[in-house]
Structure 1
Amino acid sequence: MLRTPVYASLALSLLFASSSLAARSYVDGHLHYVDFFQESEGMPALLSAMDKGKVSRAVIMGIPVAKIWQEDEPQKPRYYAGDDAALYWYSATDFELMHAIQALPAKDQQRFIPFLSGINATDKNAAAHLRRALELNPGFWQGIGEVFTRHDDVTALMHGDTPRANSEAMMKVYRVAAEFDLPVLVHSNVTSKRERKPLYLEELEEALQKNPDVKFIWAHAGTSKELHRHQEELDFLRPLLTRLLADYDNLTIDLSWTLLEPYLLDEQGTPRPRWMKLLEDNPQRFVLGSDVVGRFDNLGNILNGFEPVLQALPKSVAQAIAHDNFLALLPKASAEQETSTAKPSEE
């Protein structure tokens, strides 16, 4: 059957999109090796998922808290919000992650960018713990995080004080990060589940102001799944990001999955022009992340879900966000090594 020009054009468009997707390589900037019970599918499952999803490198971290299976609960909860049992700070997550990476062949080890996360963000001793880990394993750790500060129900279930991005404990952590040239991935919710204003912005902004030499990565731009259960969209978020990116050269935005909808894409899955302009105007200030936690089947699907956004951008901007920007945040020695060995993806 002969194709009409319309069908031929559509077929060519689909072929181009498919080939672009097939060629793109991602750096996953936000991946948790374990879940909230410090359990994982393991490295073979993760490497397989990375191969299938065309993820060349992954910023890999533990989770700094663990969920209690409480005595009066007949069934082990499946997630941190599965019941009302508490969470507690869990420092061994870093050592378990390090062991899992070091047990791999050298070529597989090189695919991971390990971040230290096992600190109590309310403890003024946390910086000393970080320093010991860094000095015991020189050159291994490439960043700090995900540090849990304001985090809706995670905060509510935590023992102890409320962690804040501008606390004295965290200011000490930032000084260690600056000394070792390490980026810091911080989760700091911009508001509460009910307030439609940037209720907690001051906490993050003070950290940015007082630590200009620290490379901050703001997880999910202050949003979370739980926030979106109560507020589908924060209307103030895009103008706020526009201002923050203009005011603070040390801020990078982690476009993990909670930013995809309802912000970058509309209800029909179409990229939103104002958000695309924000990305184009700040091409080196955004990174992608899957934010998977210990289970990896959906890794490729999450990152591939950003393809409508990436294909709506200039190729150089898409390449930067999908791959290059996170590598540029690494400590200088690591970044130089990445520049000499990394192969750019083809579009």
Structure 2
Amino acid sequence: MPTLRQGQFAAHIYTLVALLLTLASPSNFADTAKSATTKYSYSDAHLHIVDFFQEGDPLPDLIRAMDKGGIDHAMISGIPLMKKWHENEPKRPRYYAGDDAGMYWYSATDSYVAEAYRKLPKEQRERLHPFLCGFNPTDKNADKHLRQMLETYPNVWQGIGEVLTRHDDLTALTQDDTPRANNEAMYRVYRVAAEFELPVLLHSNITSKRERNPLYVSEIKDALAAHPDVNFIWAHAGTSATLHRYQDKLDFLLTELEKLLADHDNLYIDLSWTVLEPYLLDKSQDAAAGWVKLVEQYPTRFMIGSDALGSYDKIAASLKEYTPFLSALSKETAQKLARDNFLALLPPKPISDKLANADQDKD
């Protein structure tokens, strides 16, 4: 049997002692204790109550899932697109990418949300924050739909979105023009948002599947600059699962966010789903230092969400996956990210008050 020489044995002992001292340092104990004991209250800032077939579990199920997961509040919206079950397809697809059949814009999704919301008891409604999304973002009639829904359900709506503009394969399947964050139809939508103080949750990919540069960042820049009175929530920080399948990590993303946040006070970042990995957490599941620094620099400008699609059984687990990142932040910043920042963007007054004032002005 091989044996260690005296010098090798001493070296091994020294290494072991150093390792034990490192693990036993107060800072490591503090970090471990913080991660293990801190319980966060959450707002789910990105949640759809239906899927791409306009089907979803009832809202009482969502309330139960929120209670179970320590989620105080949730944004809720429909999905502005419906997946077509094509005549030539023998099996109904389960997801929008299940086959090559197209997608079409579906405005009734907003009515589904409003009616489901209004059936809840008042104390449950106070925890949910419905957003409008059932319009075609390439249609200059979109603002008319928004106004009609605001007037029909004046005590329901608290935001606009998720608006689906550039979205890789989803856009390719959609039966219409390619939507952009900076087209005239969307500018009309932003004017409604400004009038009623509604935040806009906007999906706008920062690049395409194959371009390793911020190809489309100018589109969101234009929208931010043209509408400084609108608070924009950039869904997934401009990323998507498809982008990551083709490109893995977007090396330019953090730098572009730093520039945009510095230049535009009306930009907020939704860190849901595709941002957690490979950005906020590294391969060892530790918080990425560059992202920790950015969030601490702009502690009121970030939020998290589950991006659930009509099913709520995993929303608590989705939000708790952020624990290693939250634990790397200061206590105050962590709670803002987990819960408070989303709530701070909601309109200060009900839409009905705005509509009443508008009617008085006409008189």
Q: How does 1:1-12 map to 2 (within 5 A)?
A: none
Aligned to 2:262: 246
Give the Cα–Cα distance (whole angstroms) in 2 for the partners of residues 37 and 247 of structure 1.
Answer: 39
Give the Cα–Cα distance (whole angstroms) in 2 for the partners of residues 109 and 14 of structure 1.
Answer: 37
CA offsets per residue over residues 167-216 of structure 1, 9 Å max, x none? 11000000010000000000000000011001111111100110000000
Aligned to 1:264: 280
Residues 135 and 142 of structure 2 are in contact (CA less than 8 Å); yes or no, is this contact kept in structure 1? yes
Give the Cα–Cα distance (whole angstroms) in 1 for the partners of residues 85 and 127 of structure 2.
Answer: 34
Secondary structure at 1:320 match in 2: helix
Q: How does 1:188-203 map to 2 (within 5 A)?
A: 188-203=204-219
CA offsets per residue over residues 208-227 of structure 1, 9 Å max, x none? 11000000000001100111
Q: How does 1:298-317 map to 2 (within 5 A)?
A: 298-317=314-333
Q: How does 1:72-87 map to 2 (within 5 A)?
A: 72-87=88-103
Give the Cα–Cα distance (whole angstroms) in 1 for the partners of residues 139 and 46 of structure 2.
Answer: 24
1:91 to 94, 107, 112: 107
The alignment of Structure 1 onto Structure 2 pairs a total of residues equal to 329
Give the gaps of 5 or more residues in structure 2: 1-19, 351-363
CA offsets per residue over residues 36-64 of structure 1, 9 Å max, x none? 00000222321222112111100000000
Moved over 6 A (4+): 4-13
Give the Cα–Cα distance (whole angstroms) in 2 for the partners of residues 132 and 12 of structure 1.
Answer: 54
Secondary structure at 2:300 match in 1: coil
Aligned to 1:40: 56
The one-letter code sitting in structure 2 at the alignment partner of 1:17 is: S
TM-score by length of 2: 0.87
- Mapped pair 1:20 → 2:38: yes
- Mapped pair 1:285 → 2:285: no
Aligned to 1:30: 46
The one-letter code sitting in structure 1 at the alignment partner of 2:340 is: D
Give the Cα–Cα distance (whole angstroms) in 2 for the partners of residues 134 and 300 of structure 1.
Answer: 31
1:127 to 143, 150, 154: 143
1:145 to 142, 146, 161: 161
Give the Cα–Cα distance (whole angstroms) in 2 for the partners of residues 220 and 256 of structure 1.
Answer: 5
Give the Cα–Cα distance (whole angstroms) in 2 for the partners of residues 328 and 35 of structure 1.
Answer: 27
Q: How does 1:81-230 map to 2 (within 5 A)?
A: 81-230=97-246
The one-letter code sitting in structure 1 at the alignment partner of 2:188 is: K
Give the Cα–Cα distance (whole angstroms) in 1 for the partners of residues 153 and 49 of structure 2.
Answer: 19
Give the alignment's Cα RMSD to 1 decimal.
Answer: 1.8
The CA deviation at 1:101 is 1.0
Aligned to 2:8: none
The CA deviation at 1:107 is 1.2
Aligned to 2:334: 318
Aligned to 2:348: 332
Give the gaps of 5 or more residues in structure 1: 335-347
Identity within the alignment, %: 57
Aligned to 2:289: 273
The CA deviation at 1:119 is 0.6
Aligned to 1:337: none
Residues 35 and 324 of structure 2 are in contact (CA less than 8 Å); yes or no, is this contact kept in structure 1? no
Note closer, same or farther for the CA distance 1:222–1:126 as it changes in structure 2 (3 Å cut).
same
Aligned to 2:5: none
Give the Cα–Cα distance (whole angstroms) in 1 for the partners of residues 314 and 109 of structure 2.
Answer: 22
The CA deviation at 1:84 is 0.4
> Which structure has the bigger radius of gyration?
2
Note closer, same or farther for the CA distance 1:13–1:167 as it changes in structure 2 (3 Å cut).
closer
TM-score by length of 1: 0.91
Give the Cα–Cα distance (whole angstroms) in 2 for the partners of residues 79 and 140 of structure 1.
Answer: 29
Secondary structure at 1:230 match in 2: helix
Secondary structure at 2:46 match in 1: strand
Note closer, same or farther for the CA distance 1:12–1:189 as it changes in structure 2 (3 Å cut).
closer
Aligned to 1:231: 247
Note closer, same or farther for the CA distance 1:78–1:71 as it changes in structure 2 (3 Å cut).
same
